[in-house]
């Protein structure tokens, strides 16, 4: 019993040390790390899209839903860097966190669907989707810490529920098309997240 209490005390102290270390890190350093992670996230999603394109049926491009049908399209975001520069730091961080949170469930759908994807690079795609999940989780945790340092406004998160369900289709064409569409939506949003964080990092360094 004494040993359990001792171990529990050590774990508690370790948690306190980690929290204290995170709080001691400057916002500029946290933004550097977040920007690097978001860059990796977008690069990986781009690589995945190219990998899918290598064996994507032509009819799939015809029947694929429009980008406006992505489940995150209702969120009002800056269209380019110039517009992003007009948005406050707290709002930019809130937008990035909202987009990341909106992809928790869809990434799980992509992960489970990748296991049976009718594509020659199925194993590689499945592994990369898992990497996307890990990087997204890590980035989300980092942005949570950042929001705690940047005030209440940055802690606001918009709800963007995914209602696409777990089934991406029953035949080869629909599976590949729906998978590709969902991934293309994520690629678009990962680019937005990366852009917002780069603007934040630029401002923190007083370079823009």
The tokens for 182 are 């969902």
pLDDT at 54: 87
- Domain-wise residue ranges, the chain: 27-204
The tokens for 2 are 């004494």
| Torsion 135-141-145-147 (CA) sign | positive
The structure's pTM equals 0.84
Residue in 162, 207, 200 with CA at minimum distance from that of residue 32 = 200
**CATH number belonging to domain 27-204:** 1.20.1250.10
pLDDT at 208: 67
> How deeply is 187 buried, as exposed, middle or buried, from its count of CB atoms within 10 A (0-12, 13-18, 19+)?
middle
Average pLDDT by stretches of 10, the chain with 208 residues: 45 39 68 94 95 88 90 94 90 96 97 94 95 96 91 89 90 94 96 95 81
From residue 183, give the alpha-carbon distance in Å to each of 125, 131, 155.
11, 13, 27
pLDDT at 192: 96
pLDDT at 55: 87
Angle between helices 122-150 and 27-53 (to 10 degrees): 160
Helix (H) or strand (E) holding 73: none
């Amino acid at each position: 019993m004494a040993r359990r209490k001792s171990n529990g005390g050590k774990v508690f102290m370790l948690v306190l040390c980690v929290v204290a270390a995170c709080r001691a890190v400057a916002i500029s350093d946290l933004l550097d790390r977040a920007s690097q992670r978001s860059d990796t996230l977008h690069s990986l999603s781009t690589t995945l899209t190219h990998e899918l394109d290598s064996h994507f049926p032509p009819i799939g491009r015809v029947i694929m839903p429009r980008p406006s049908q992505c489940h995150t399209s209702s969120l009002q975001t800056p269209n380019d860097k110039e517009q992003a520069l007009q948005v406050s730091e707290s709002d930019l961080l809130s937008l990035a966190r909202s987009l990341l949170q909106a992809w928790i469930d869809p990434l799980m759908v992509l992960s489970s669907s990748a296991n049976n994807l009718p594509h020659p690079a199925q194993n590689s795609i499945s592994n990369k989707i898992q990497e996307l999940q890990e990087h997204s989780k890590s980035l989300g945790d980092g942005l949570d810490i950042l929001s705690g340092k940047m005030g209440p406004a940055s802690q606001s998160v918009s709800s963007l529920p995914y209602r696409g369900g777990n089934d991406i289709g029953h035949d080869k064409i629909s599976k590949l098309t729906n998978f590709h569409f969902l991934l293309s939506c994520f690629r678009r949003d990962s680019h937005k997240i990366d852009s917002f964080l780069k603007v934040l990092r630029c401002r923190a360094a007083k370079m823009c």
